[in-house]
């Protein structure tokens, strides 16, 4: 205790030190006169602060789960403390600091009396909140507020707040919760950032070392010297979390929804370290991984800025999330890339710090440029060797396909190796259900993940990838799945006409190799770029049934095959592995070499054309069965079922060919543009797909999916002609 107090007194008056730091304050104040946009924004935050301080604050004894009053109030208080601090710094008006002080004192008074939160629903209950994660988030906010009012406080006030609240709080999050703190998981990152930032503000190297290097059984940090020697890493702590959770490409293995969430503590703590311990050279860690992670996260979005539904993802979460503000500001401050301002435009409230001001300056000077996203393969895995995500876009960014050939994504992962999503402009064409959860909705199990997330959301049939024998990948076993990953066998984005990638997996189903080739083909022969999809199942064991689902949204306009509809009674498609959640609406067969469906969604007309034979069964279903609590959305699915096959290749083309206008009632391009598709060759390593447009043009795509050897020459005889090529593929206009 004596040591800690002396530290607090010995500090020079240098606060704030974290993100909003003393050096930037004069400019932040000056900009109020120079940039009306900045002035407006700060004034808005100030107005919120003014409104808050008119009322008595409340620091209630914690009782409620997420969605309840005390949960919401503490969350608000955390944000308010941060806001009051920032406004105190910008206005130098003591009233904000005084109000923040009073809140801190109330917390300091209550905190020592708190035990574990009464809602016992988390593996790691917090003090203020039902789960400790929220406590960590609270401290990340609150410590920024404390940092800002530090100079305003009297020494005895600091002593009270630090001794009764901040240090015990940091100890609770670290040494008393080692199992969370040392975890390689976003919960661990939040705890580490909260404790580390507190350590910086309190000038307490021990807290910083705990955060950087993790804690030993004896509560000591794994390392006590802070330096830029990154070579030796420990099993826990911020550096290890950063190195482990991000791939070298900056992909966070839990997926973009959680990456967005986890970015905040990563970035805030990293920036705090960089501002205060420059010798650590944290921004150079892992080749500048923090910046790279932001860039990658931006690429992992559709045209609405919505994150791709990879693993547990809540639909609607996007680049407009509050967590993205700091990420975009920080990257812009570093790169001055005007496309980042385009994102800032749709989410205009910045944080009050120098990076936020840089963005406002850029916006004020009209520098924003429309964002243009890339075709890119993003590696997964600590060392970038656990597969990845291939994102295929045409040059105009009108369509986007996402092929998943990554690892499981830890506990938030879905059993969806080789899943495929497809977007056209603002619409999902091939959709992914995402997670079954209503965050913060009390009526939906307090906002937690719903049982249907396990029984449907995570199951393979809920995704656009092959299910063998109606069993999910890895038999739905997380432990096994988590030990393996798929791979991106190749990707080639060099040709603007065709962007192509291939993912492969040999572990999801024992003895079976799944290979998927996806290509975005942007040709003047079609209204919009089409998605070519080849899904190969190579099996060395006895035959089974292979289901390839295509999940979509909207209304079926046309069914290309004879079918029998279950119009007067509906039963689920199966009894387990997610099949129990799909109503079986219709089944059919096709006498043609290919068939498909056409549907309308959000004023667009789409079609799938898929190859069929006498062993193909075609199923139309809808999610929502076995859902007594109405937890699931009801969304249609078209399943191509291949029966009694040993090895089989599904060949499909998905198009966005039409538009509808409800005001003029005109429907343009309602006929699909693919007339015919045919597999001319279907061998283990070679596939040749011929497809013909209704205008009569025909194309052949030759693909080699065997062992990679870019110099190898390939030869195929097709329809009496000989084709030679090297590399992964060749596209021929016949």
Please give the positions annotated as active site: 258, 412
Token pair 């406002």 is at which residue?
A: 360
Q: What is the DSSP string of 208-277?
A: HHHHHH-B-TTS-BS-----S--SS--SSSHHHHHHHHB-TTS-BTT-HHHHHHHHHHHHHHHHHHHHH-
DSSP 3-state of 391: strand
Asked if 704 and 676 touch (Cβ cutoff 8 Å), the reply is: no
Count Cα neighbours of 431 within 13 Å in the Cβ-side half-sphere: 26
* Residue 570 binds to a second copy (criterion: CB under 8 A): yes
Of the candidates 664, 711, 713, 722, which one interacts with a second copy according to CB under 8 A?
664
Stretch that binds a second copy, among 34-42, 360-368, 409-417, 565-573 (CB under 8 A): 565-573
Of the candidates 318, 375, 515, 612, which one interacts with a second copy according to CB under 8 A?
318
Using alpha carbons, list the distances in angstroms from residue 302 to 298, 332, 668. Answer: 9, 21, 24
Residue 666 has phi, psi (to 5 degrees) of -85, 145
Least distance in Å: CB of 562 to a second copy? 12
* Residue 670 binds to a second copy (criterion: CB under 8 A): yes
* Residue 559 binds to a second copy (criterion: CB under 8 A): yes
Least distance in Å: CB of 85 to a second copy? 20
Of the candidates 92, 541, 571, 593, which one interacts with a second copy according to CB under 8 A?
571
Least distance in Å: CB of 159 to a second copy? 35
Of the candidates 91, 626, 659, 697, which one interacts with a second copy according to CB under 8 A?
626
* Residue 555 binds to a second copy (criterion: CB under 8 A): yes
Least distance in Å: CB of 585 to a second copy? 8
Residue 105 has phi, psi (to 5 degrees) of -65, -40
* Residue 558 binds to a second copy (criterion: CB under 8 A): yes
* Residue 627 binds to a second copy (criterion: CB under 8 A): yes
Least distance in Å: CB of 413 to a second copy? 21
Asked if 432 and 421 touch (Cβ cutoff 8 Å), the reply is: yes
Q: Which residues pair with 616 in a beta bridge?
A: 642
Measured CA to CA, the distance from residue 273 to residue 199 in angstroms comes to 10
Stretch that binds a second copy, among 4-12, 286-294, 398-406, 566-574 (CB under 8 A): 566-574
Which two three-digit tokens encode residue 93? Answer: 């008006």
Q: What is the DSSP string of 697-722?
A: -EEEEEEE-SS--TT-EEEEEETTEE
* Residue 663 binds to a second copy (criterion: CB under 8 A): yes
Of the candidates 556, 680, 694, 718, which one interacts with a second copy according to CB under 8 A?
556
* Residue 314 binds to a second copy (criterion: CB under 8 A): yes
Asked if 184 and 139 touch (Cβ cutoff 8 Å), the reply is: no
* Residue 583 binds to a second copy (criterion: CB under 8 A): yes
Annotate each residue in 65-94 with x if it binds a second copy (CB under 8 A) or - if it does not, as one string.
--x---------------------------
* Residue 633 binds to a second copy (criterion: CB under 8 A): yes
Of the candidates 278, 288, 316, 644, which one interacts with a second copy according to CB under 8 A?
316
∠494-499-502 over CA atoms, to 5°?
110
Stretch that binds a second copy, among 105-113, 232-240, 279-287, 560-568 (CB under 8 A): 560-568
Residue 399 has phi, psi (to 5 degrees) of -125, 165
* Residue 317 binds to a second copy (criterion: CB under 8 A): yes
* Residue 105 binds to a second copy (criterion: CB under 8 A): no
Stretch that binds a second copy, among 3-11, 246-254, 434-442, 717-725 (CB under 8 A): 434-442
* Residue 26 binds to a second copy (criterion: CB under 8 A): no
Burial of 304 (0-12, 13-18, 19+ CB in 10 A): middle
Least distance in Å: CB of 97 to a second copy? 27
Of the candidates 117, 292, 404, 444, which one interacts with a second copy according to CB under 8 A?
444
* Residue 123 binds to a second copy (criterion: CB under 8 A): no
Picking from 401, 393, 359, the residue whose alpha carbon sits closest to that of residue 374 is: 393
Q: 344-360 burial, b for 16+ CB within 10 Å, e for fewer?
A: beebeebbbbbbbbbbb
Nearer to a second copy, 243 or 608 (CB): 608
* Residue 622 binds to a second copy (criterion: CB under 8 A): yes
Least distance in Å: CB of 665 to a second copy? 4
* Residue 527 binds to a second copy (criterion: CB under 8 A): no
Burial of 240 (0-12, 13-18, 19+ CB in 10 A): buried
Picking from 677, 676, 688, 684, the residue whose alpha carbon sits closest to that of residue 719 is: 688
* Residue 665 binds to a second copy (criterion: CB under 8 A): yes
Q: Which long-range contacts (CB under 8 A, 24 or more apart) does 46-52 make?
A: 46/87, 46/90, 46/91, 48/83, 49/80, 49/83, 49/84, 49/87, 49/96, 52/80, 52/83, 52/84, 52/99
Of the candidates 219, 349, 495, 666, which one interacts with a second copy according to CB under 8 A?
666
Stretch that binds a second copy, among 167-175, 330-338, 378-386, 554-562 (CB under 8 A): 554-562
∠181-187-188 over CA atoms, to 5°?
30
Nearer to a second copy, 17 or 637 (CB): 637
* Residue 593 binds to a second copy (criterion: CB under 8 A): no
Interface residues with a second copy (CB under 8 A)? 67, 314-318, 320-322, 438-444, 555-559, 565, 567-572, 580, 583, 586, 598, 600, 620, 622, 625-630, 633-634, 660, 662-667, 670-671
């Amino acid at each position: 205790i004596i040591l800690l107090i002396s530290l607090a007194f010995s500090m020079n008056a240098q606060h704030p030190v974290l993100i909003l730091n003393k050096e930037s304050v004069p400019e932040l104040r000056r900009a109020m006169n120079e940039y009306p946009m900045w002035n407006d924004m700060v004034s808005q935050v100030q107005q919120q602060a003014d409104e808050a301080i008119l009322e008595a604050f409340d620091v209630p004894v914690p009782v409620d789960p997420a969605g309840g009053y005390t949960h919401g109030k503490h969350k608000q208080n955390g944000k308010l403390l941060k806001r009051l601090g920032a406004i105190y710094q910008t206005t130098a008006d003591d009233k904000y600091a005084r109000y923040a002080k009073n809140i801190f004192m109330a917390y300091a008074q209550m905190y020592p009396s708190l035990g574990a939160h009464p809602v016992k629903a988390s593996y790691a209950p917090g003090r203020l909140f039902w789960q400790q994660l929220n406590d960590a988030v609270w401290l990340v906010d609150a410590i920024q507020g404390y940092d800002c009012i530090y100079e305003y406080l009297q020494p005895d006030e600091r002593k009270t707040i630090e001794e009764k609240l901040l240090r015990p709080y940091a100890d609770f999050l670290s040494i008393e919760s080692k199992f969370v703190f040392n975890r390689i998981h976003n919960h661990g990152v939040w705890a580490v950032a909260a404790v580390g930032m507190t350590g910086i503000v309190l000038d307490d190297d021990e807290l910083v070392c705990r955060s950087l290097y993790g804690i030993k059984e004896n509560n000591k940090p794994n390392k006590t010297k802070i330096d830029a020697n990154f070579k030796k890493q420990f099993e826990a702590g911020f550096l290890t979390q950063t190195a482990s959770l991000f791939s070298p490409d900056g992909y966070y293995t839990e997926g973009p929804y959680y990456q967005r969430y986890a970015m905040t503590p990563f970035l805030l703590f990293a920036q705090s370290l960089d501002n205060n311990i420059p010798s650590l050279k944290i921004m150079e860690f892992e080749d500048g991984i923090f910046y790279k992670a932001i860039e990658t996260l931006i690429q992992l979005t559709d045209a609405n800025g919505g994150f791709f539904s990879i693993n547990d993802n809540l639909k609607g979460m996007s680049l407009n999330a509050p967590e993205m503000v700091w990420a975009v500001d920080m990257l812009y401050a570093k790169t001055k890339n005007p496309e980042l301002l385009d994102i800032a435009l749709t989410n205009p409230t910045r944080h009050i710090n120098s990076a936020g001001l840089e963005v406002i300056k850029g916006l004020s000077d009209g520098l924003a440029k429309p964002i243009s996203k890339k075709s890119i393969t993003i590696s997964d895995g600590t060392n970038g060797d656990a597969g990845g995500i291939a994102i295929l876009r045409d040059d105009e960014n009108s369509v986007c396909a996402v092929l998943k050939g990554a690892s499981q994504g830890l506990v938030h992962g879905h059993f969806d190796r080789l899943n495929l999503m497809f977007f056209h402009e603002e619409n999902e064409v091939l959709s992914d259900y995402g997670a079954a959860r209503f965050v913060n909705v009390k009526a939906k199990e307090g906002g937690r993940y719903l049982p249907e997330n396990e029984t449907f959301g995570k199951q393979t049939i809920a995704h656009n990838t092959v299910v063998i024998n109606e069993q999910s990948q890895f038999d739905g076993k997380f432990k096994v799945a988590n030990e393996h990953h798929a791979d991106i066998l190749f990707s080639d984005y060099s040709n603007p006409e065709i962007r192509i990638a291939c993912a492969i997996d040999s572990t999801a189903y024992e003895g079976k190799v799944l290979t998927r080739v996806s290509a975005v083909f942007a040709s003047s022969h079609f209204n919009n770029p089409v998605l070519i999809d080849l899904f190969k199942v190579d099996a060395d064991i006895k035959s089974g049934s292979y289901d390839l689902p295509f999940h979509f949204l909207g209304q079926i306009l046309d069914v290309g095959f004879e079918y029998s509809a279950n119009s007067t009674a509906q039963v689920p498609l199966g009894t387990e592995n997610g099949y129990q959640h799909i109503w079986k609406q219709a089944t059919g067969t096709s006498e043609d070499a290919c068939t498909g469906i056409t549907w309308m969604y959000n004023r667009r007309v789409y079609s799938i054309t898929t190859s069929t034979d006498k062993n193909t069964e075609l199923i139309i279903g809808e999610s929502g069965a076995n859902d007594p609590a109405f937890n699931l959305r009801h969304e249609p699915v078209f399943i191509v079922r291949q029966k009694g096959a040993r090895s089989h290749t599904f060949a499909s083309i998905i198009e966005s060919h039409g538009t509808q206008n409800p005001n003029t009632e005109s429907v343009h391009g309602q006929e699909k543009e693919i007339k015919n598709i045919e597999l001319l060759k279907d061998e283990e390593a070679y596939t040749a797909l011929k497809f013909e447009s209704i205008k009569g043009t025909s194309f052949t795509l030759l693909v080699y999916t065997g062992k990679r050897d870019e110099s190898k020459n390939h030869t195929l005889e097709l329809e009496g002609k000989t084709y030679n090529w090297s590399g992964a593929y060749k596209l021929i206009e016949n």
